[in-house]
Amino acid sequence: MKSLYVRIVFTFVIVAMASGVLGLIVTSLYYQNKQQSGNEQTMLDIATNIQEQYEQNPEMDLNAYLTHIAALGFQIYRAGANGEGQAYGSPFKHGQLTEQQIQSVQNGIAYLGMEEQKNRLQLFSYFKNSVLNTAGLPVQTPNGVEAWFIRPDLQQQIGEVRVIAAILIGYTFLISLLFIVILSRLIVKPINQLTKATKQMVVGEFHASLQLSRKDEIGELARNFSVMTKAIKQLDQVRQDFVANVSHEFQTPLTSMQGLARAARDKETTEEQRENYLTIIEKESGRLSGLSKQLLKLAVLDKDHPPLHKTTYRLDEQIREVLIALEWQWTEKGLQLELELPDTVIVADQQLLYEVWLNLITNSIKFSNAGQVISIAITNTEEIVVEIRDMGIGIAEDELLFIFDRFYKANKARDHASTGSGLGLSIVQKLVSLHQGCITIQSQPGAGTTVQVTMPRLSS
């Protein structure tokens, strides 16, 4: 029973059968507690009326009278004074009265057979066609005291109703089963579509779409699946682009280094040219080494949030340390620094944030023209905001959307001015995000760039 469709149908059948049994038990308990005593009293009243009617008119033909009563919808068993018995109406199918029971009624004790026909489902005792399931009374006749046992002839009174009820219940079950068979297909169909789409995704086909307008949980699942498919497709595209970019970033310098190495080995190459070639090879190998380190760092950051080694330290002093480390770069360009660094205490991973400021300030220096100004300011309120502003070449508005993408390099001016890999800002964004902070960049071509890093004072 592996098919969900078969499981649903089978479950419905089990539920229907269990519901029928439980319903029968509940109905029987209701009958036992609410209606049984009333039915017994009704049967006794009917028997009393039949008894009184005859005793008030003893001249009536007894056989004709009882035959007439039986024709009105009753079953009667007459036990004569001499012990002989005779039935009127439909015959009793079950049971046999004992001599003690008959004698007890003849002695004036009323007999209530429904009380004696106890079983687990009291409701069935009402429908049982047994001479024991009767009401018995003594009747004075010219032949002596007789015992009459009377019950309604349910087959005659409600026989057609019982048949109609049985047909109704039976066909209701069959029609319900037919509907569940049909509707179960509608329930299982979108799941089959999801299964098919999943199999397509396994082999790398991400174009599968689910056209479902349902508003229920399955419809919500299908919509979420479609969103997941698009996300995986984008992720796969990013992966392919990443591999292509990495291959390009490595292939270009390697090809250059290979050519330069051949040229350096050429006997006709002068010592000065050879020295120049080796300098370029050393520079390119250093760039490849840096690229490898950045890729390794991104791989570590992409894992499930590496642990932060937080300490309490002075953020303003850390930024000054970065400026001292980069002093040769900004002094070589003749850049001016405008600093607004009030005493600021932060709880964070000191080593990781050092890389953030090192990367951002290095970019500002790299893309600033000689003699320009770089401003660095800390705003110390409920949150800590570090703003780094330069007056350099800037970034086009349409490129700001991709500035944090891996291997993305902005306009050609930046690309030619830089020997970077395009991974720095991706790493910065990851590091800031790990500290529950955010980074924003505003820029205009020719007007410079402003970077704002917002951090919580106490990173949790």
The reply to whether 187 falls in a domain is: no
Kindly state whether residues 39 and 129 are assigned to the same domain. yes
My answer on whether 286 and 319 are in the same domain is: no
**How far apart (Å, rounded) are the C-alpha atoms in residues 155 and 140?**
30
pTM of the model: 0.46
Domain count, the chain: 3
384 vs 346: CA distance, rounded Å = 8
User: Torsion angle, CA of 331/439/293/264, rounded to 10 degrees?
Assistant: -50
Question: Where residue 365 sits, what CATH number does that domain have?
Answer: 3.30.565.10
Residue 360 inside a domain? The answer is: yes
Do both 291 and 316 map to the same domain?
no
Handedness of CA 88, 92, 98, 100 (dihedral sign): negative
Do both 288 and 315 map to the same domain? no
Domain end among 302, 324, 345: 302
**For tokens 């830089």, what's the residue?**
418
Answer whether 75's CB lies under 8 Å from 88's CB. yes
Q: Check whether residue 297 and residue 315 sit in a common domain.
A: no
Q: Is residue 204 part of a domain?
A: no
List the domain range (segments joined by +) for residue 296.
Answer: 217-302
For residue 150, the number of C-alpha atoms closer than 13 Å in the C-beta half-sphere is: 27
In a domain, 182, yes or no: no
Residue 40: how many CB atoms within 10 A of its CB? Answer: 16
The angle, 0 to 180 degrees and rounded to 10, between the axes of the packed helices 315-325 and 350-366 is: 50
Rg (CA), the chain: 49
- In total, the chain counts a number of residues equal to 460
Give the domain-ending residue among 275, 302, 329: 302
Per-residue model confidence as pLDDT tens for the chain (460 residues): 466 667 777 787 888 788 877 877 777 777 666 666 677 778 888 888 888 888 888 888 888 888 888 888 888 888 887 778 888 988 888 778 888 888 888 888 888 876 555 555 555 666 677 888 888 889 888 888 888 888 888 777 666 776 777 788 888 888 888 888 787 777 777 777 777 777 777 777 766 666 666 677 777 777 777 777 777 777 676 666 666 666 655 666 777 778 888 888 887 788 888 888 888 888 778 767 766 666 666 666 666 566 778 899 999 999 999 888 888 888 888 899 999 999 989 988 888 888 888 888 988 888 888 889 999 999 888 889 999 998 888 887 777 777 776 655 554 444 433 445 567 777 788 888 888 889 888 888 878 889 999 988 765 4
| In a shared domain, residues 255 and 336 | no
Q: Is 416 found in the same domain as 337?
A: yes
Tell me: do 241 and 122 sit in the same domain.
no
- Collect all residues with Cβ–Cβ distance below 8 Å to 43 and sequence separation of at least 6: 112, 114, 134, 135, 150, 151, 152
Nearest by Cα to 358 from 455, 446, 247, 453: 453
Q: How many CB atoms lie within 10 A of CB 203?
A: 6
Instruction: Judge whether 195 lies within some domain.
Output: no
- From 252, 282, 302, give the residue that closes a domain: 302
Residue 135 lies in a domain: yes
Instruction: Say yes or no: 336 and 291 in one domain.
Output: no
Same-domain status, 318 and 292 = no
Extract long-range pairs of 184-187: CB within 8 Å, 24+ residues apart.
184/5, 184/8, 184/9, 184/12, 185/5, 187/8, 187/218
Q: Is residue 188 part of a domain?
A: no
62 domain residue, yes or no: yes
Answer yes or no: do 376 and 255 share one domain: no
My answer on whether 286 and 325 are in the same domain is no
